[in-house]
Structure 1
Amino acid sequence: MPGAPAAGSTLALALAPFDELRTSVSSHLDTAARAWFDRALDEAAARPGLHGPISVWELRLAEAGRRCGPEHADAVRILILRAARADADTLTRVYRQGTAAERRAVLHALPHLVPGPDAVTIVEDALRTNDTRLVAAALGPYAARHLDTHNWRHGVLKCLFTGVPVDEVADLAHRARADAELARMLSDYADERSAAGRPVPEDLYRVLALTEPASGGEHPPGPEPASGRASGPATDVPTAPEPSPHPGTPSGKES
């Protein structure tokens, strides 16, 4: 069965308490990077005015990799978003305008900053991309709480289809338990691969085992689609993903 996420995994980053994350990041930065980091958090907390089409603190999201190193950039961006008290509308704007790295930070920040399902469209968009790091980030704690059952099942299939480890799927054991439809989808996908002479991912069998009914109880249903929102076609096995629209990156932003 999938166990606890590894310390450096996408899921572990999404679950980390902010205070622990900040302490960890600060301890690994040199003097210049730490000074920039502290200043960026102060700017985000103060929410200074616009610089062209975006806020000054949003520019710091773009600089995080260059200033603090790529190994710390995700955590730095998450902490900047938290300092800015970004709400669902702000996070949606940052996601739409951002690079893939900035989009990952938004997905990681969702469970900390958005209490309800207002940002589910961001998760759904990430699951339509070809970027496996976005797919992994999309299936974090926020999706576990708010993504409807149809899209969550297809998110799990997307992981198997693209090679994203299912250990990155938050609350997988709980949401998969006694899910007969997910079991059918997994079995169909395994049969299709076997018939084509292709290997079946080991993770598929791990998830399939989780779909067994719990003794003396049933799996609680996942979130239903929001009123008025289509859940999409009932496709059993994911086909080759199509890239989502990605508007041009604002001037001055970097990966």
Structure 2
Amino acid sequence: MNPPPFYEILAAELPDTVWLDTALETVSRQPASIARLFPAAGRQCGRWALDRLPNWTVDDAARALLLTRLPAAAVVAELESLYRYGDGAEKRAVLRALPWLDAPADAVRALLLDALRTNDTRLVAAALGPAARHLPVAAWRQGVLKAVFMGLPLDGVADLDERADGELATMLAGLAEERHAAGRTMAGDATELLHRLSASKTERVS
């Protein structure tokens, strides 16, 4: 998967790229410097939404770009540290950058699983993005169910149509029953997914 043109997008948004250019060069030569530059990206670059990257912000893109400049040998150690000690926005940027980083699958999986254990909607949504291909199917299903429970839109779940299966349908049906018993409804996109999965299951049986 090719990364978005982060630098081009940021150059079109920022008044100037002096801080960003310096930070990128510094990280490529001194990987440990990312510990101070990564958190500073929001303050130095801004936090507004990007039109060219839906649901991304300027600091998301700047942080992802910084991570892509890390030497391969430094990626795993720096990723774990940045995620562990970062605030919510910093953790989200780490998760969003994962598809374009040369990190072992087990390291990626550990970060995604941690994010799915939180109640931070930003992290759960990010963990179900493109990097979620590293999640075991059972954990992925639980993540989708949690996203539905939290009211997150399912259009942000990568490969949903390809990975959704009968077991996920059973889990969604259970949640729908719980919601109905409590006098509540399930989100429209989740209900639509349940109907599609149920129809597909019926067709296979017949």
Which TM-score bucket, shorter chain as reference?
Answer: 0.7 to 0.9
Are the aligned partners of 1:88 and 1:118 in contact in 2 as well (CA < 8 Å)?
A: yes
2:86 is the counterpart of 1:98: yes
Which residue is equivalent to 1:127? 116
2:55 counterpart residue number: none
Task: For 1:64 and 1:118, locate their aligned partners in 2 and report how far apart those are by CA, in whole Å.
Answer: 24
Deviation at 1:115, TM superposition (A): 5.5
Match of 2:126 among 127, 130, 137: 137
Q: Secondary structure at the match of 1:204?
A: helix
TM-score by length of 1: 0.70
Shift of the alpha carbon at 1:180?
1.3
User: Which one scores higher on RCO, CA 8 angstroms, separation ≥ 6?
Assistant: 1
State, as a whole percentage, how many aligned pairs show the same letter.
Answer: 45
Q: Comparing 111-120 with 124-133, which one deviates more in the overlay?
A: 111-120
Tell me the distance in 1 between the aligned counterparts of 2:175 and 2:203. Answer: 29
Write out per-residue CA displacement over residues 31-79 of structure 1, whole angstroms, 9 at most, x where no aligned residue: 2xx100000100111125xxxxxx2222111111111111210100000
- The list of structure 1 runs, each at least 4 consecutive aligned residues, that deviate by more than 3 angstroms after superposition, is 212-217
What RMSD in Å do the two structures reach over aligned CA positions? 2.1
Aligned to 1:220: none
1:27, CA displacement in angstroms? Answer: 1.2
Task: Please tell me whether residue 182 in structure 1 is matched to residue 171 in structure 2.
Answer: no
Q: Distance in 2 between matches of 1:70 and 1:90?
A: 22
- The residue aligned with 2:12 is 27
Matched residue pairs, number?
191
1:87 aligns with 2:75: yes
Distance 1:131 1:87, change over 3 A: same
Establish whether residue 206 from structure 1 lines up as the match of residue 192 from structure 2.
yes
2:48 equivalent to 1:59: no
- Do the aligned residues in 2 keep the contact of 1:173 with 1:210 (CA within 8 Å)? no
Query: Quick one: which amino acid aligns to residue 21 of structure 1?
Result: F
Q: Secondary structure at the match of 2:186?
A: coil
Supply the AA of the counterpart residue of 1:180.
Answer: G
CA distance in 1, matches of 2:196, 2:7: 35
Match among 72, 75, 78 for residue 61 of structure 2: 75
Gaps of 5+ in 2: 49-57
**Counting helix residues as a fraction of each chain, which structure ranks higher?**
2
Question: How far off its partner does 1:84 sit?
Answer: 1.3
Question: Which structure 1 segments of 5+ residues have no match?
Answer: 1-14, 49-54, 218-255
Contact map agreement 1:92 1:119 (CA 8 A) in 2: no
Q: Which residue in the other structure is 1:108 paired with?
A: 96
Whether the 8 Å CA contact 2:23–2:66 is kept in 1: the answer is: yes
For the 8 Å contact 1:132–1:164, the answer to whether it is kept is yes
Which of 6, 29, 44 in structure 2 is aligned with 1:46? 29
Equivalents in 1 of 2:196, 2:203: separation in Å?
15
Give the Å deviation of 1:17: 2.0
